[in-house]
């Protein structure tokens, strides 16, 4: 994709949604001339299904889940997600169950770090690639809270 990978910035946060820097594709002819075309305007949606849990002790929150992640371009990956946060919480609490997430951007092998907010066992996070995730845990829980959270997700993919 175009641009210098060292100085590249995504000021709109939409590159992950439209598939590349500025949403433009580049092609080269004989190594000298450059043609640019308008973006395909096809957003890449992603999601995951897994199982996990979360718990808190006073203001501190810890959560983890694992499962299968996928995107609208056909990529399928295993993932492990770990989150740590702090906020206003019940004295103690926890939850366990099925985890479902939605977002934009391709999934591929590697690590994605996101920051955001949580309410109960649910989260909304994003990162500098413009990727946003709504992560929802469905299952029994005790206690509640809300605050800030930071997550690290490791993706393990075959072929991408």
pLDDT per residue as tens digits for the range 81-108 = 999 999 998 888 889 999 999 988 888 9
Report the percent of the chain where pLDDT is more than 90.
41
Give the Å distances, CA to CA, from 79 to 20, 104, 106, 110, 114: 23, 16, 13, 10, 14
The structural domains of the chain, ordered by start, are 1-43 (no CATH), 45-157 (2.40.128)
Instruction: Quote the pLDDT of residue 37.
Output: 46
What's the angle, vertex CA 123, arms to CA 43 and CA 133, rounded to 5?
A: 15
Distance of alpha carbon 2 from alpha carbon 16, whole angstroms: 14
pLDDT per residue as tens digits for the range 97-138 = 999 999 888 889 999 899 999 988 888 888 876 566 788 888
Instruction: Quote the pLDDT of residue 134.
Output: 85
What's the angle, vertex CA 64, arms to CA 63 and CA 68, rounded to 5?
A: 145
pLDDT per residue as tens digits for the range 6-27 = 555 666 656 655 555 544 444 4
């Amino acid at each position: 994709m175009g641009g210098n990978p060292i100085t590249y910035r995504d000021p709109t946060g939409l590159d992950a949604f439209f598939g590349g820097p500025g949403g433009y594709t580049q092609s080269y002819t004989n190594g000298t001339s450059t043609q640019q075309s308008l973006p395909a305007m096809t957003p890449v949606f992603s999601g995951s299904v897994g199982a996990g849990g979360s718990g808190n002790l006073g203001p501190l929150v810890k959560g983890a889940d694992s499962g299968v992640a996928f995107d609208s371009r056909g990529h399928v990956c295993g993932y492990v997600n770990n989150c740590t946060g702090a906020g206003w919480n019940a004295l103690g609490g926890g939850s366990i169950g099925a985890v479902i997430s939605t977002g934009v951007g391709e999934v591929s092998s590697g690590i994605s770090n996101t920051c955001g907010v949580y309410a109960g066992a649910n989260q909304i996070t994003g990162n500098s690639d413009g990727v946003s995730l709504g992560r929802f845990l469905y299952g029994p829980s005790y206690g509640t809270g809300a605050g800030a959270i930071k997550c690290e997700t490791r993706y393990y993919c075959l072929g991408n």
